A and B are shown apart, each in its own frame.
Chain A
């Protein structure tokens, strides 16, 4: 598993589609010098995973909301990177990704407003923001 991770990292760092005979070190240097779509996607995926980890591990409900914002932002990063890639390959719908990003931001804003309203109502009634103490539905 660890060797697989290391292989994946090496592959991530080298330029995508580089020929094998160019040498691994050279390819990695090229990949560092010319980051492309896959690097954007990996940054977005790492942000997403950090957000998932935050949602699953934290006890403070507000920090969980912030992790959700992180997740939505990672999705936005993917949309924008794909949009740029499609612009350069000359796709007709290249800007659709940016339109989607606008709607993701709208939904995130609505979600934050509603969620924080719920947090305030909850704090008034239960005097806590720790999610493991909010267990009214537990039987």
Chain B
């Protein structure tokens, strides 16, 4: 799938941007900066998805990851932020020995990947895949698409194809995924409750209640209000 002309330029720009933003995510001192760099990495990867003809996944990536998951991350960072790391009072990385060991491990992974690319790329199917043939193929496919209202671009069939495939071949995994999401919703609500909320739902261990009510007498009242 050799890309050509402006597509290859896009690939290098967004590929390098994704890698650098990923690096900065891991190295940034402040967790909020990490989250923002992760957002730019995710957006760059979404651009690579568009480049690969997966417009639907790119849209989902932006909507779900950047619009949903990352906002959740930022909320949690704001809730628990201790602020010690950016003031330099706390170390952001593990101890020296652990960091060295994990960097060696990652270096070995890089070597393995390069070895795999060396070995594997010569076996890629290359028939009819010269850059010119590919761009011709692309142009033919674009010509067969419906034109958009402005006439300057065409409407992709990607979403339609994914939708029909998802319901035709992936309907069972689709349902399982919906159950997974339901479990995640219920689980995160259960996990994030405070002691008072647990007490008023009559869901507190009696011993915990006895210990904690010394600090917060309100708990007993909430618990007994539930009994009636």
Chain A residues in contact with chain B, CB under 8 A?
1, 4-5, 7-9, 11-12, 15-17, 32-43, 45-54, 56-60, 62-63, 65-67, 69-70, 73, 76-77, 80-81, 83-85, 87-89, 95-96, 98-99, 101-103, 105-114, 116-121, 123-124, 128-130, 132
Contact = CB atoms under 8 A, between A and B. Distances in A.
23 contacts: A8-B117, A9-B114, A11-B114, A34-B3, A36-B1, A43-B15, A43-B19, A46-B110, A56-B98, A67-B25, A67-B26, A73-B65, A77-B48, A89-B127, A95-B161, A102-B166, A106-B177, A107-B177, A108-B69, A110-B181, A110-B183, A117-B187, A120-B79
Most B CB contacts (10 A, CB to CB) among A11, A73, A130 go to: A73
Given A8-B115, A62-B31, A117-B187, A33 B8 contact: yes
Q: Which 4 A-B pairs have the closest CB atoms?
A: A8-B114, A56-B102, A117-B191, A117-B188
Interface string B44-65: 0100110011101100110011
Interface string B71-97: 011001101101001000011111100
B140 interface: no
Given A34-B2, A47-B18, A69 B170 contact: no
B22 A47 contact: yes
Nearest to B84: A130
Nearest to B105: A56
A130 B185 CA distance: 25
Contacts of A36: 1-3, 124
Given A16-B122, A43-B19, A114 B191 contact: yes
Contacts, number: 278
B97 to A, nearest CB: 11
B200 interface: no
Contacts of B115: 8
A98 B113 CA distance: 23
A52 B1 CA distance: 28
Given A16-B122, A43-B18, A62-B31, A113 B80 contact: no
B80 A120 contact: yes
A34 B195 CA distance: 59
Most B CB contacts (10 A, CB to CB) among A46, A63, A112 go to: A63
Contacts of B8: 32-35
Nearest to B5: A33
Contacts of A52: 102, 105-106, 109
B192 interface: yes
Given A35-B2, A102-B166, A123-B80, 16 more contacts: A1-B111, A8-B117, A39-B11, A40-B52, A49-B106, A49-B109, A56-B94, A63-B31, A80-B52, A80-B54, A81-B52, A85-B1, A99-B170, A114-B191, A120-B76, A123-B79
Contact of B126 (A7, A9, A17): A17
A98 B25 contact: no
B144 interface: no
